[in-house]
Structure formats: C-alpha cells, structure tokens
Structure 1
Amino acid sequence: MNKAKLASALGSPSVFGQSQFAFARGNAFEARVKADGGAELLGLVHRTLDAGAEPPAAARVPDLSATGPEGRAARTALALREATPAGAWTLLDHPMLALDVAGAPAFLEPDAVVVHPDGHWTVVEIKSFPMLDGSADPAKVGAAARQAAVYVLALEEVAARLDPAPRVGHEVLLVCPRDFSNLPTASAVDIRKQRAVTARQLRRLTRLDEIAAALPEGTCFAPELPAEQLVASVESVPAAYAPECLSACELAFHCRARARAAGAVTALGRPLRAELGALTDVAGVLAAARGAYGDQPGPEDPYDPDDPTVIALRRAARLRAEALGEAAARRLTVVGPGSGTPGAGSPESEGATCR
C-alpha cells in the first residue's frame, strides 16, 4: 500500500520530506565520503572504532546489485557470509536488509555496513548536518541513532542465520561534515538503548494477519476508490494520532483531522494523554474540570471527586478562574469623585465607562 498516494486520495497529502537542495547536498557529501573505494570512510571506521586492527589498505567492495529488494537482500546476506571469515576489511555500499515487522518483511537500506578483520559488523550512517567543534545537534543525532538501531536489528537477523554468528556492533559510526566544510568527520554512537526500545516496540506490534482478519469483508485501500468508500476503509483500522506522527507517517494529516473532529486528547500529545488517565476526549476533560456540581459533587456526578486527575483538573480550573477574575479587577477603573478626577454628575463624568 502506497500511503502517500492514499493520503492524497483522502484529501490530506503529506508535505514532509527532505528538500531537493538538502537531498542533493547529502548525496554529494556521501559520494565524497565513499570515493576511492571507500578509503576515507574505512579510515574513519579504523581510527574511531577499531584502532587496534590492521589499517584498511585494500578493502573489498562487493557488487550488491540484484533484481528487486528480495534479490538485493539475498545478495547482501551472501556478501556478508563470504566476507565474515576472510580476515580483511570489507565495505558494503548501500546493502539491502530485511526486517520482520508485524509478520511482514520491511526492506531497509543503510548507507554502509563494514565488516572488520575480526569478523564483526558495523553500521555506518552518513548525514549532511554538521559537527561543530566535535558535537552535532542532539535531536538530529538521536534521530540518526534510532534509524541505525533498526539497521542493527536487521543485521542481527542475518547474523543469526550464520554459524558461528558474527557480532553486530552496538556502536555505529556517524559521519558528518566537519564544521562548515565538506570534509568528513566521525563519531561513535552507542545505540544499545535505542535498539532495546525498538526491539520492544516491534515485539508489541499487532501482526498484520490479525489486523486483516479483523477488517470488514471487502475492505480495500486502493486510491482510485470513491472517496466515501476509501474513508470508510481507512476508518476501519484504529489509529492513535499523536503530533510525532507528522514527521513519520504519510497519513498523519488525515488522522490529525479525524482526531481533532473527535476531540481526542491524543491530538495534544502523548505526555498529556498519559496524565489524563481515563479521560480520552476534550469534552470530558472540560466537564471533569468544571464539575457538574461544583466542589461538592452530587450523587449523579460521573466523575470521582477522589480521582487524582479530577482533583488536579478542578484545582487548575479554580486557579484559572481566580487569575482571570483578578486580571479583570485590575483592568476595571471606574471614573468617579476623587482627587484629580472629574466628579460624579459633572459633564466630564457623563458617559464615563470602565476601561
């Protein structure tokens, strides 16, 4: 299913993505790093992660071309199997890896994978954002670490099929431009935490065959279907929109519109959703904050006055009302008798109003 085409057919096309300028700059930098058979890239791997090994004087760069993603994944697995016991440096340029996601294969293409002389494997991520004085934007480094963690999990599936299974390094190499130049520099990034989180999330995913079995008969996601039928098909699959979806899912704008229309608190962010407990819609949150019977709810009040969430909401509502009342009182100035002001009944006081 092409989610980008589906989003366009639903009337909520995705607009996120890398600009053409950034894409071209990233490609040019990656080509610069991998030039001359990856000599500079392998030098960075050697100096940063494996300084005790022999320098990569003449590394092997196997051909990974094949037909289709399945063929490329099989060719990559074969190249890794052949390279692992050789005792030499090997660079796999844009290998294809397969990772089981909810019972279906997802094909992944890391920038590079390096096989060390001792046989262990390292993922290399090449990014075009700069490292200034040896450090980069933490948010971008974090995103790169999460991306690399998925590649490590896919490599571990390949390694598990070999005997003996080679070690997949949990330190990946992040290569970026140094300062404001086009010269590459590298840093080791420990992705054990990101790997553990990603593995846990993958285990918790509902399998695709279970989702398909729960769908109504005749459900179809073809973009050429009539709008009403397509919307009904998409709505048959439960979705939990959160603002983070905007940077990761093509259907995020559609789901955001539906969440806002339903008043779902998830549209305001997962942290707030977690704080509100059983209150899942904005109308319910406001009703709980106001209280149907004030601070002393009657027997028909649907909200438990001892619930910590309800207590916090009603206290916040009282504080807001008090703050708004004090602000209104400060703005209220009545013109009347007094020093330096026109007296009541004087021509100047006629039509006096609050400001």
Structure 2
Amino acid sequence: MPPPRTRGTALRHRLAELRGPDVPAKALDARALAALAANPGCRRRAILDGAGVDKARLAGALGSPSGFGQSQFAFMRGNAFEARVKADGGAELLRLARERLDAGAEPPAAASVPDLSASGPQGRAARTALALREATEAGGWTLLDHPMLALEVAGSPAFLEPDAVVVHPDGRWTVVEIKSFPMLDGAADPAKVGAAARQAAVYVLALEEVAARLDPPARVGHRVLLVCPKDFSNLPAASAVDVRKQRAVTRRQLDRLTRIEEIADSLPEGVCFAPDLPAERLTSAVESVPATYTPECLSACELAFHCRDRSRADGAVTSLGRSVRAELGGLTTVGDVLAAARGEHGDPEDPAVAALRRAARLRAEALEGRSGAVEGAGRSGAVEGAGRSGAVEGAAVCR
C-alpha cells in the first residue's frame, strides 16, 4: 500500500488541478511578488499566482485582455545594455559597486564569476547558495550573474532571478538591479526608481533567507545598486538605493497573505482556470474566488480590467481607491454611500455617515446659492435690458 501523500504533495496536486491538465505553471517573479504584496487582501490573485496560472492568457479568455508586456524594442535594448554592463567578467559593474557602496575596499582586479548552471530551479537555487557560501569564505570580489533564489510565499516556494548579486571582500552581499530607463544628471524618474526598489526588496528578502542558513550568518546590504544608462547614451551609471522601507513593507505584507491551501480548500469541487475552457465556465471559476480591486491594480495585475468591470457592476467603493474605501468605514457600495448621504441609511453617530450628510448639506446649500445668484443675475439683466430698450425708444422719439 503506497504511503499517504504529504501535505505539500497534496497541495501541489490541488494547484495543478486548478491550473488545468497539462498546463505548465507560470513562475512567479519579483515584480509579481511586489504587486502581490501591495494588495494582500486579494484572494483571487493569491490563488492564481500560487497555482502558476498565466493571468494574461486568462484575461484574454475572459474577454478583458490586459495591456501588460514589454515592447520588443525595449526588451532588446534592455538586454543589450545589461550585456554591456556585465562585459569583461563584470569589470564595469564591480567598479560601480565599489565606487557607490564600498569605496574603501580593494579594487576588483581579479573578481570571481562562478558558474551557476544546474538542473531546474531547485538545482540552480542550491548551486547559488553554495556559490554564495564559497565566495563569503574566500573573500575578495565575486559576481553572481543571474543567481536563483527561493522565497516562501503563502506556503509555496517562489523562485526569483535577480540581475546580479555582488559579494564584497568583507563578505557582504549586495543585490544589483539593471534597468534600461535613463539616469539624467545623476537622477532617474522617481516613480521608476520606486518600482525598482520594491522589486529589489523582494530579492533582498530572498537573499536574507540564504544568508541566515550560514554559520555565522552572512550580511545582506540594505542598499542595492541600481544601474541605468547615463543620460541618453548606452554608458552605465549607478546609484545606491536604500530599500529598508520597501523591505519592511514587503515582509509585512507577505506575512499577512492568506495561505494558499486555505483558499484552495474553500473553492468548490471542479473549479479550474485553464484558459481553453468555455468562457461561461471560466468566468464562474474566477468569480468563485473573492477579489479586492483597487485602481492601483491597473498597473500591477493582468486581470485588472476584468475585476474593474465586475467591481463597477457591483457598485463596490473599492473601485474608487483605497483612501476613499478607508474613509467610508462600513459602507461598502456606492448605493449605501448615496443613501447614507440622503439620510435614508446608516447610523447618524457613525463618523463616516455624519461626514457624508454634512457634505450633502453643504453641496445643497452651494447649489441653492448658485441658483439664486443665477436667478438674480437674470432679473438684473432683464431690468438692464428694459432700461436700454427705453433709452433707445426715447432717443427715437426725440428724433
């Protein structure tokens, strides 16, 4: 008699059923994790990402295709720039790392670039951990090109691949992010830098898990190296970005995520998200998992257009944004909000209800005052017009 399946094996089997027969899993990356952590209350995204569902294909099958994806030109430009930065054994990249993060260290004259190839993501993650330990013990500069890191997310491992990790002579580890947006006069677009910092914070968390397993534990730098093209050229420029805030926020949000097995256990039997299913069945499957839509999802999730349409159809106040939702307390629909403002719904002692009614009164008074002003202006214009007519008539009589 075969031994019973372990909990992890049962979960993987269940997630494969949700994904669909013979549908390969789509691996989570740091960008998806940063977006997932930004909206931890969305059970729909948690289960879809945990099961490895291709949300872009799913959105297309639902009739709400997303506009996600990098243009081919941007992709090729980014790859060409990264290759330039890492040329000659990463000499320029290591020079920038020393210049921005470790000016007192010895120059990276003979840096090590270990081979990280292995079979599968688990094998590559193990090979990366071994290379990090060997580099830390050996001292000197080491460049890990596209290492593989593992991070547990909602009870399931996610494999992440940063652009590079630098090991300093003192044993410190630094995450490197290489982006193709320009750095003009030493500064880049703050919004793009912020997105890169959130993505790098995920890598820092994963690297910390590897560092904690060493004896003694290795140190992971809280500043990451952001490398971008200088001005409008293809020459690299770098900046040290402190990601302590982003790391703390991401850690807290990931810890708050509902465990994937809890969501999977709550779904009806037969639910499947395979994109080749009939649209009606696929829609029913997606709607069986609660979603928490906010306008920020439009820049972070492939299913945002579908969820936005459903949120608007239901009149959910979350479609107005997190700040508005937070101010409205227990009022969860636009209909409830309007009824509370008219005095037809809600507890008058509720601060949100009281604020809505006060705002409704102020609006009514403002509109009434405006109507009175318009009416008064109309009467004044009529009198003025009558005066002008009388003057014209008098002038005609005088002639």
Q: Secondary structure at the match of 1:172?
A: strand
Map of 1:349 onto structure 2 = none
Q: Secondary structure at the match of 1:304?
A: coil
CA distance in 2 between counterparts of 1:80 and 1:211 reads 36
Map of 2:369 onto structure 1 = 326
- Write the letter of the residue equivalent to 1:322: E
Map of 2:387 onto structure 1 = 340
Higher helix share: 2
Map of 2:241 onto structure 1 = 189
Runs of 5+ in structure 1 lacking a partner?
293-301, 347-355
Map of 2:15 onto structure 1 = none
Measure how far apart 1:134 and its partner are.
1.9
1:316 aligns with 2:367: no
Q: Secondary structure at the match of 1:25?
A: helix
CA distance in 2 between counterparts of 1:173 and 1:132 reads 16
Give the one of 46, 56, 76 matched to 2:128: 76
Map of 2:227 onto structure 1 = 175
Measure how far apart 1:205 and its partner are.
0.6
CA distance in 2 between counterparts of 1:230 and 1:92 reads 42
Measure how far apart 1:279 and its partner are.
0.7
Measure how far apart 1:342 and its partner are.
4.6
- Please tell me whether the aligned partners of residues 99 and 108 of structure 1 are also in contact (alpha carbons under 8 angstroms): yes
Give the 4+ runs in structure 1 shifted more than 6 A: none
CA distance in 2 between counterparts of 1:341 and 1:136 reads 64
Map of 2:307 onto structure 1 = 255
Measure how far apart 1:51 and its partner are.
1.2
TM-score (norm 2): 0.80
CA gap 1:82/1:320 in 2 versus in 1, 3 angstroms: same
Q: Secondary structure at the match of 2:341?
A: helix
Spell out, residue by residue over 1:38-61, the C-alpha distance to the aligned partner (whole angstroms, 9 max, x if none): 000000001111111111001111
CA distance in 2 between counterparts of 1:258 and 1:17 reads 23
Measure how far apart 1:145 and its partner are.
0.8
- Please tell me whether the aligned partners of residues 336 and 342 of structure 1 are also in contact (alpha carbons under 8 angstroms): no
CA distance in 1 between counterparts of 2:307 and 2:207 reads 33
Map of 1:142 onto structure 2 = 194
CA distance in 2 between counterparts of 1:186 and 1:166 reads 24
Matches within 5 A, 1:215-234: 215-234=267-286
CA distance in 2 between counterparts of 1:327 and 1:144 reads 49
Map of 1:99 onto structure 2 = 151
Map of 2:94 onto structure 1 = 42
CA distance in 2 between counterparts of 1:269 and 1:68 reads 41
- Write the letter of the residue equivalent to 1:283: G
Map of 2:29 onto structure 1 = none
Map of 1:90 onto structure 2 = 142
Q: Secondary structure at the match of 2:348?
A: coil
Give the one of 89, 105, 128 matched to 1:53: 105
Map of 1:353 onto structure 2 = none
Spell out, residue by residue over 1:1-54, the C-alpha distance to the aligned partner (whole angstroms, 9 max, x if none): 211111111111111232222222222221111111100000000111111111
CA distance in 1 between counterparts of 2:346 and 2:149 reads 51
Measure how far apart 1:230 and its partner are.
1.2
Runs of 5+ in structure 2 lacking a partner?
1-52, 394-399
TM-score (norm 1): 0.90
CA distance in 1 between counterparts of 2:68 and 2:388 reads 60
CA distance in 2 between counterparts of 1:51 and 1:2 reads 44
CA distance in 2 between counterparts of 1:276 and 1:20 reads 43
CA distance in 2 between counterparts of 1:262 and 1:5 reads 25
CA distance in 1 between counterparts of 2:139 and 2:346 reads 68
Spell out, residue by residue over 1:150-206, the C-alpha distance to the aligned partner (whole angstroms, 9 max, x if none): 000001111122222111111111111222222211111111111111111111111
Map of 1:350 onto structure 2 = none
CA distance in 2 between counterparts of 1:144 and 1:197 reads 14
CA distance in 2 between counterparts of 1:264 and 1:285 reads 10
Give the one of 287, 294, 310 matched to 2:339: 287
Measure how far apart 1:110 and its partner are.
0.8
Higher normalized contact order (CA 8 Å, seq sep 6+, divided by chain length)? 2
CA distance in 1 between counterparts of 2:61 and 2:185 reads 46
Measure how far apart 1:251 and its partner are.
1.2
Q: Secondary structure at the match of 2:355?
A: helix
CA distance in 2 between counterparts of 1:252 and 1:90 reads 41
